[in-house]
A and B are shown apart, each in its own frame.
Chain A
Amino acid sequence: MTSRDNMSEEHLPQAPGPHGGAVAAHDDPFADPGLPPHEHRRTDIDERAAARAERQVARWFILSMLATVGFIASYVAIKPSNGDGTTGVIYVFMLGHVSALNLALGMTLGISLFAIGAGAVHWARTLMSDEEHIAERHPIESTPEVRAQVFADFRQGAAESGFGRRKMIRNTMIGAMAMLPLSALVLFRDLGPLPEKKLDSTDWAAGKLLMNMNTNTPLKPSDIQVGSLTFAMPPGLNPDDPNADPTFQEVIATSALMLVRMQPGDIKDKQSADWGYEGVLAFSKICTHVGCPISLYEQQTHHVLCPCHQSTFDLSDGGRVIFGPAGHPLPQLRISVNSDGYFEALGDFSVPVGPGFWERSA
């Protein structure tokens, strides 16, 4: 038996009786049993245990100080890792190759924050008072006298202000307050113009060439092999110029195309085959669910999978939805070949690309 457990009777305080509502009648099964008697912690009654707990709390706080010093020291002493990873990178089990500076800063800052919290919690658990207190509920309603006084004051005030008698003041005041929110309403105009018909159309138009996204050169039928996947965009875009008008991002967000080629016999949808050129089909790259770019094309099944919500479209069947939450088939662009032998669009998409919206016509 350790000295910690050896506590003689005289060291213990008087066992307090039950607090709160005392048991009134033994035959009442729902009587309030009150709080159980308060039990003292070791640190409440043993000065040496309390001193030990105090030292433990202080050790947490000192650890926090040391970690803060360590943070500053590592910031000063450790070199940041350079771009090619030849310096400042160390191998740590489970973490792999990591930047030594990042690891040291994160660890020290984490320890200094955690130690403050742990010290505070340990302090509260061992040394701060843990006596139970009861705060009795009281009725929320005021006393009848106070209520009567308040109502009387209100009626007297209403009568003295003449609110009910001077109708012109009352009506103009109501009018002024009703008008006030209009000023907030006009400010919504700053959110920008309404989309109007902009969501219905893309940059594609009759005669526009299909440009290879990789090389920015016009595509011709012999470029597209069966089983290949090619991304196309309208002509006249410069991906590297953010100040161009319209910018690359604005156009590509609606007009991105993927070109696939199938054996003509594999195309199940007659109209889809007619809209292509010798088995080359041009589909929108924007998912019709919430507009993620989709191009996870499986060349053997002709399925396109959207990585966001697993909508799957069958490109051999007019872009039909075969799985997932998308509500519309993938729009197809009508293409042909111009007199120079290059692919050209025969117009815009026949339906709006991308997800549904309020004003969507089709």
Chain B
Amino acid sequence: MKKLSARRRHPLAALVVLLFALATTGGLYAAFAPTSSAQADTGQSLAVEQGKKLFQVGCSSCHGLEGQGTKDGPTLVGVGGAAVDFQVGTGRMPAQQPGPQVESKPVIYSQAEIDQLAAFVSTLGAGPSIPSADQYDASAGNVAAGGELFRTNCAQCHNFAGSGGALSEGKYAPPLDGVSAKHIYEAMLTGPQNMPSFPMSTLPQQQKQDIIAYVQHTTSQASNPNYGGLSLGSLGPVTEGLFGWIFALGALIGIAIWIAARTPKAKKS
């Protein structure tokens, strides 16, 4: 057998070394990265005390020990429990890495832990609290009225079908399918990240319920199937144009070539 060093000038050697280095780094990171596996004592302890402990383990490195904010994360004074429930409940927080936008990820805290975190953050300053189930009850909403409100207030970023869309410098408005009624309500109430808020004073509860009813109706295949066939993501002219130029035009070119192609000629044997 040849010595390994004899193959060090093989054209693929650099690639192998690179893959090995990447796998090692990734594996070590996964093994030693701090995992937020703090278990909450679901006993009778005060939720605020538990929340504070969770906060100091999972959140304080960016938001400060008292939620006052650091250069890595904004202050949480006055954001309220609804913001905590949205950010942690959709997996956006804790953030994985800095970037133009913190993305939704698998949720790592249980709902009980999220409630404790929210209880602690609520004590930092007055802000919107977690809504109760009857506040975001979509069955109390009017889909048609919600459609008008959605097109006035939301569709500019989230697209007429709730498919989301691009914003400036890498930021984007996420698609709305599969977002729970509670999280839609909390997002409107608190304005997470770059989304502006739509507080109760300008968008009352009934109108929020209308919007939730419209979003759930529109983004569900069961209530709103693609009557026209392939929806191409409901993204409008970008995907439709791409599809038209590549597939439709490609098929036409293929047919044109076939029409003008030389027919098989008789060959002498």
Q: Is A305 a contact of B225 with CB atoms below 8 Å?
A: no
Tell which of B201, B268, B269 touches A225, judged by Cβ atoms closer than 8 Å: B201
B29 interface hit (Cβ, 8 Å): no
Shortest Cβ distance from residue B211 to the other chain A in the assembled complex, whole angstroms: 10
Q: Mark A303-339, 1 if CB is under 8 A from B, else 0.
A: 1010100101000000000010000000000000000
Identity of the chain B residue whose Cβ is nearest the Cβ of A312 in the assembled complex: B168
The interface on chain A, measured as residues whose beta carbon lies within 8 A of the other chain's beta carbons, has a size of 61
Interface assignment of A361: CB less than 8 Å from any CB of chain B:
no
18 contacts between A and B (CB under 8 A): A40-B265, A44-B266, A84-B223, A85-B223, A89-B225, A95-B230, A96-B225, A106-B229, A121-B259, A222-B201, A228-B199, A230-B202, A231-B152, A294-B156, A297-B196, A299-B191, A301-B168, A312-B168
Cross-chain contact B194 with A8 (CB below 8 angstroms):
no
- Residue A97 contacts which of B193, B198, B204, B225 (CB distance < 8 angstroms)? B225
CB-CB under 8 A from B10, the residues of chain A are none
Nearest chain A CB to B99's CB is how many angstroms away? 14
**Is A126 positioned at the interface, with any CB of B under 8 Å from its CB?**
yes
B167, B196, B231, B258: which contacts A228 (Cβ < 8 A)? B196
On whether the beta carbons of B202 and A212 are closer than 8 Å, the reply is yes
Q: Contact check: which of A9, A39, A229 meets B265 at CB < 8 Å?
A: A39
Cβ of A260 within 8 Å of any chain B Cβ, yes or no, is yes
Please tell me if A12 contacts chain B, counting CB pairs below 8 Å: yes
With an 8 A cutoff between CB atoms, is A19 at the interface? no
Contacts of A293 in B (CB 8 A): 156
Mark A210-239 against chain B: 1 for CB-CB distance below 8 A, else 0.
001111000100111101111100000000
Is B91 engaged at the interface, CB distance under 8 Å to the other chain? no
Residues of B within 8 A of A (CB): 149, 152-153, 156-157, 165, 167-168, 171, 173, 191, 193-199, 201-204, 207, 221-231, 258-259, 263-269
Q: Is the CB of B196 within 8 A of A103?
A: no
- B-contact bits for A269-287, CB 8 A (1 contact / 0 none): 0000000000000000000
- Taking a contact as CB atoms under 8 Å apart, the answer to whether A102 and B196 are in contact is no
Cβ of A81 within 8 Å of any chain B Cβ, yes or no, is yes
Complex contact A300–B194 (CB within 8 A): yes
Highest count of chain B CB atoms <10 Å: which of A44, A103, A215: A215
CB closest residue in chain B, given A256: B152
Given contacts A12-B268, A40-B265, A89-B225, contact A307 B196 (CB under 8 A): no
8 Å CB contact of A85 from B157, B171, B191, B224: B224
Q: A106-B229, A215-B204 are in contact. List 20 more A-B contacts (CB 8 A).
A: A41-B266, A85-B225, A95-B226, A95-B230, A96-B225, A96-B231, A97-B226, A102-B227, A125-B259, A214-B152, A214-B153, A214-B207, A228-B196, A228-B199, A228-B202, A230-B202, A299-B195, A300-B193, A301-B194, A312-B168
Q: A85-B224, A89-B225, A228-B196 are in contact. Are A126 and B263 (CB under 8 A)?
A: yes
Given the known inter-chain contacts A85-B222, A96-B231, A102-B228, please indicate yes or no for A7 contacting B153, CB distance below 8 A: no
Q: Which 6 A-B pairs have the closest CB atoms?
A: A229-B196, A97-B225, A223-B201, A298-B194, A299-B196, A39-B265
Contact partner, A305, options B168, B221, B224, B266, Cβ 8 Å: B168
The interface residues of chain B lying within 8 Å CB-to-CB of A7 are: 266-269
Report A-chain residues with C-beta under 8 Å of the C-beta of B203. 214
Q: Are A224 and B202 CB-contacts (below 8 A) given A95-B226, A96-B231? A: yes
User: Bound complex: CA of A131 vs CA of B8, how far in Å?
Assistant: 65
Query: Which A residues touch B265, using CB under 8 A?
Result: 39-42
Contact of B152 among A1, A9, A106, A213 (CB under 8 A): A213
> A130 with B263: in contact, given A96-B221, A225-B201, A312-B168 (CB under 8 Å)?
yes
Interchain CB contact under 8 A, B196 and A95: no
Find chain B residues with CB under 8 A from A225 CB: 197, 199, 201
Q: Contact check: which of B173, B197, B227 meets A81 at CB < 8 Å?
A: B227
**Which residues of chain B come closer than 8 Å to A108, judged between CB atoms?**
none
List the B residue with the shortest CB-CB distance to A92: B229
B residues within 8 A CB of A12? 266, 268
Cβ of A94 under 8 Å from chain B = yes
B194 to chain A: closest residue by CB: A298
A152 interface contact, C-beta 8 A? no
B156 near A307 with CB under 8 A, answer yes
**Is A5 an interface position by the 8 A CB rule?**
yes
For residue A64, CB closer than 8 A to chain B, the reply is no
- Nearest A-chain residue to B198, judged by Cβ: A228
Residues of A within 8 A of B199 (CB): 223, 225, 228
